[in-house]
Structure 1
């Protein structure tokens, strides 16, 4: 009676199964099995609502059948009706406590909603029923992964995959474990094997993303194109492919694709950003202006379109003024537009107009950080004591702890402007001391210059390699910004959320090199092994390091002699004041000015040792007198690298910092710390007083 339906279901013939199932139901309307099979046929054909109605009819006929409740839960999961699915699963378990699939699905739901303790309990129950089942092992590995233990997850899943090489659920979980460990090539292999057996757009997109993460964006595009060819090209996928094409250097193709998405979704910020970058790379300013003007005519209330339109006018130019005035006409009193207008006034030296707009913003949006800061900046120029009072007033009203910390940092700067240097130093030191538990410890430093191996000869036609480092307060970030602006192969990913996993990132490297537990050649090989994932294609790289120690020369001298070191310097005492007042690119713990000075003295002493001993090719980029001169910074870097670099535009290097020699105002307030720094300052050529 059921053979025709079951056979069609096994063959995936949805239409045949549906015809046979309907005939069976018509012949036996009170048969629950007939309704179950009809539900399965409808589900295969994509009619989930009708399938749900059919299984509900089967349950009404035999309400105590656990399998039927389990199948109902599956349909509800397909429709993302998670709470109702959970209820059906609970009913299935209540009817049959040994219903293994119900525990598996319940555990998956628990993991999905983040209830990891409940998931663990359900997994244990499932394991008692079927301890060797691959679904249990997959859940155990996934649970370990969700708890942050990627090593345990990888161990569980890799061993299980060896025992059950054809189990898709294990390969799927194993792929995510590899991703968590950063083993993208292995993850690609796992998901690609699944894609070959179970072709699907989500799996293809996963493989493409992993290919992209390995630095092969062009291949990633090729992986995704079949989805478009099969009619599965959503705007989000078109945008993703456009972004990958842009990354692969296919600027023209990327722009064509992204413009198509932008016309369809003119409010999508990510598309606007990607298209703007494509226009910039392709020197398409005229096309950008024309396209954006067309979109703005229909959508004048989209701020991101106005932001993009401003990108294609010279900064603070008359043309930019016109765009901002049109923006304000379309969106009166819109704070970001007012901020843009104030910035143009400030760049033109029209401080009175800029300050007036800042006051207007505080009227529209009381407590607006940018406007309040502009008002305070004005007061620091005209009436520093009033600036102190203004910040103290804001502090008294602030409720958010993050806002309070920012205001206290600013209070120190207003104390500085008012000449209250003891109060400024005390305020900053207190803030840093409070933040120590949330900060990274200072990188450990080796003792003195190790016994170094001889320099190896520089290989012929070796690609350009440089390492950039500057201690906190050196303003090394301005050098990094200049290099990035010039499209040099500068990488700042060590300071981001996904740093490379190589020995040059790890704190223990200094000690491991010193005691011999880390082989120097292995260090360099591991560093090179990260290049593909970091987007390095031809070996050319300027790697901005998190820390520097001369023990790295044990590896660089024999195994990377073609490299050059770029050290950014200022007077160490100015560096300490800057560190206290403005922080650093990486938030290192600063327990006290004296502790910071001691570490700074040792770190800079190593640079002096390297220079005095001629231990490795290097350049010292001193920013003392040029920190506020983008052209001079570009010239200094260019001299070090033997190239010509464009300067950053005015304002692009960030807010002004204290002038060279400002440290002397703190000669009394920071006397103990400065005494620690004086010897290394003299070694580096700075005056003792």
Structure 2
């Protein structure tokens, strides 16, 4: 009696299957199998609710049928009724502990909830029933991937895919493993296979679009996204298409999609930024004005729209001033509007009017950082004592520890201008003591380096290697700024969140070389092996080191003789003062100026020894008169390296003038006494 139903189901004839199943149920309402087949026919017809009702009717007749509970869970999952599905699966497992599909679905549900421990537990239970089943491997692989082991996850899922190449669950998991490893082409191929069986899956197609984009095939990604737009003309999809068209360089095609998205989502920052870029490329300021004015008429309180409207006017011209006047008329107390007005005054040379606006801003928002800094800068020029009082008041009112530390650093500079040098030094010392437990310890320095191996001859055709170092306060970072250009070989990654994993990054390397625990050839090999990960493929590198120790010469003299060492110094007393007042890229910890001076003196003694004995090819660059002059800095560094470098626009905040340390001779007497001998060795006056 079931054959007509089964035959129709095999052929995909949903209407025939429904008719035959309804007839079977009508003929025998107590037949659970007939109700179950009716549920299957409804599901094929796309009527999930009717299918669920038919399964419930079958369960009413055979409540202990575990497989029916699994089927019911599948229908509930399709309707995103996750809790009910979980309950149905639990009931199935309770009735039949060997109900393998129930464990698989439970594992997938646990993954969806982010409960990795539960997914792992359920996968182990399923593995006892079918240890080699690819769907068990799919869960294990996804758990492993979520726990951060992409390599092992990829191995598990690749093996499962070989066993079951057409299993959608396995293929889906494998695709995400490829993404985690950055194998976007393989991931794209995997998800495209998935699309062959799920052509209507918009989310899956969107994932493929993103994978194409991540491979740099922007035009192809835009074309594929356009097909998604046909079925989903939502503002979000229009924005995505517009962004992809921009990345593909097809601005004229991007504009209609972005303007449609903007019309529906005028408050969406991402859409607005993309649209501004499209207008910039087409140089269509008139279209920008018209579109943004229409949006502002409906949303006059949206600061982002006003800022965008300013972009459509010549900087600080009459048109920009008129826009700001309209903005302030719509929002008299808008701080961004006041800031824009101050910018226009500054551009026109009306500094005093811009300064007055800073006071207006802090009246509206006490403690506003940019306005307060401007006011303090004004007071430093006219009333230094008032600047000190204002910063102290801000410190008292601040509740944020990081903000308080920054203000104490600023207080020191205000006290310096006011002439209270002892209080300035104390304020800076307090800041460094406060953060000592949050910073790197001072690197250990070797006391003696023993007999150095011979310096080997320069190898033929060796790639250029430049090693840069300067102690804290030397302002070596300004050499870095000078060479931080597109295409430059300078690598600043030792100061990043992901530094290279080579021996030159480790504390203790110098002592290990002296003790014989580390071989010099091995050190250089490890350094070279890390270069490709630093995007250095030809061996040429300008490597900015975190620290230096002359013991490293035990490795460099015999195994890297082609290197050149560029060492930056200033008067050691000025270096210590700068380290205290302005900090350094190394962010080393010290509890007091004396502790810092003792370490700095030892580091500089090593530089003096290397320079006096010429132990390694090097250039000693004194930066005292260069640190605030970009052109002079570029010229001096270029001369030292026999090259040329364009002068950067700026080198950073203005530093103390050379010799400013003398004003701190009394409060920092103990620290300066430690530095004076090496200062004299480096050619600086004793007093």
Please give the range of the TM-score, normalised by the shorter of the 2 chains.
0.7 to 0.9
Tell me the alpha carbon deviations over residues 102-152 of structure 1, each in whole angstroms, 9 at most, x when there is no partner.
44544555455554555555455555555555555554555455455x3xx
Tell me: CA distance 1:91–1:371, structure 2 relative to 1, closer, same or farther (3 Å): farther
Which runs of no fewer than 5 residues in structure 1 stay unpaired?
Answer: 246-252
Does residue 1:522 correspond to 2:525, yes or no?
yes
Question: 2:674 corresponds to which residue?
Answer: 676
Say whether residues 1:407 and 2:407 are aligned partners.
yes
Q: Distance in 2 between matches of 1:589 and 1:76?
A: 58
Distance 1:620 1:386, change over 3 A: same
Q: TM-score, normalized by length of structure 2? A: 0.75
Contact 1:157–1:170 (8 Å) recurs in 2: no
Q: What whole-Å deviation, never above 9, does each CA across 1:40-90 have from its counterpart, x for those lacking one?
A: 425xxxx5xx42552254235416455455455556656666555555555
Q: For the structure 1 residues 224 and 144, does the alpha-carbon distance in structure 2 shift closer, same or farther, using more than 3 Å as the test?
A: same
How far did residue 358 of structure 1 move?
Answer: 1.5
Residue in structure 2 matched with residue 248 of structure 1 by the alignment: none
RMSD: 4.8
Cα distance change, pair 383–159 in 1 and its aligned pair in 2 (3 A): same
Q: Please give the residue correspondences for 1:11-410 in structure 2 after superposition, counting only pairs within 5 Å.
A: 16=12, 18-28=14-24, 31-38=34-41, 40-42=43-45, 50-62=47-59, 64=63, 66-71=66-71, 73-74=73-74, 85-90=85-90, 92-93=92-93, 96-119=96-119, 121-123=121-123, 125-127=125-127, 129-136=129-136, 139-140=139-140, 142-143=142-143, 146-147=146-147, 150=149, 154-155=151-152, 158=155, 161=158, 165-166=162-163, 184=182, 187-188=183-184, 191=187, 194-195=190-191, 197-199=193-195, 201=205, 204=208, 208=212, 218=216, 221=218, 224=221, 227-228=224-225, 234-235=237-238, 237-238=240-241, 241=244, 253=249, 262-266=258-262, 269-270=269-270, 287=283, 292-293=288-289, 295-300=291-296, 332-343=332-343, 345=345, 350-410=350-410
What does residue 249 of structure 1 align with? none
TM-score normalized by structure 1? Answer: 0.75
Contact 1:523–1:555 under 8 Å retained in 2 = no
Question: Which of 661, 664, 673 is the matching residue for 2:662?
Answer: 664
Deviations 1:393-426 (A, max 9, x none): 3333333333333334334444444444333333
1:648 equivalent in structure 2: 649
User: Do the aligned residues in 2 keep the contact of 1:324 with 1:341 (CA within 8 Å)?
Assistant: yes
Q: Which deviates more from structure 2 when the two are superposed, residues 83-92 or residues 319-328?
A: 319-328
Residues 406 and 265 from structure 1, CA distance in 2 versus in 1: closer, same or farther, beyond 3 angstroms?
Answer: farther
> Who is 1:424 aligned against?
424
User: Relative to structure 2, which stretch is displaced further, 133-142 or 375-384?
Assistant: 133-142
2:519–2:555 Cα contact (<8 Å) kept:
no
1:384, 1:414 within 8 Å by CA — same for their partners in 2? yes
Q: Name 1:685's counterpart in structure 2.
A: 683
1:633-657 Cα offsets, whole Å, 9 max, x none, are: 34444444622414316xxx55444
Given that 1:482 and 1:648 are in contact with CA atoms closer than 8 Å, whether structure 2 keeps it comes out as no
What's the secondary structure of 1:685's corresponding residue?
Answer: coil
1:503 shift after superposition: 5.1
CA displacement at 1:544 relative to structure 2: 4.3
How many Å apart are 1:516 and its aligned residue?
A: 1.2
The change in CA–CA distance for 1:58 and 1:257 in structure 2 (over 3 A counts) is same
- SS for the counterpart of 1:624 is coil
> In 2 relative to 1, CA 144–440 (structure 1 residues): closer, same or farther, beyond 3 Å?
farther
Match of 1:457 in 2: 459
Given the superposition, is the C-alpha separation of residues 126 and 260 from structure 1 closer, same or farther in structure 2, using an over 3 Å criterion? Answer: same
Q: How far apart in 1 are the matches of 2:113 and 2:245?
A: 33
Displacement of 1:22 in angstroms is 3.1
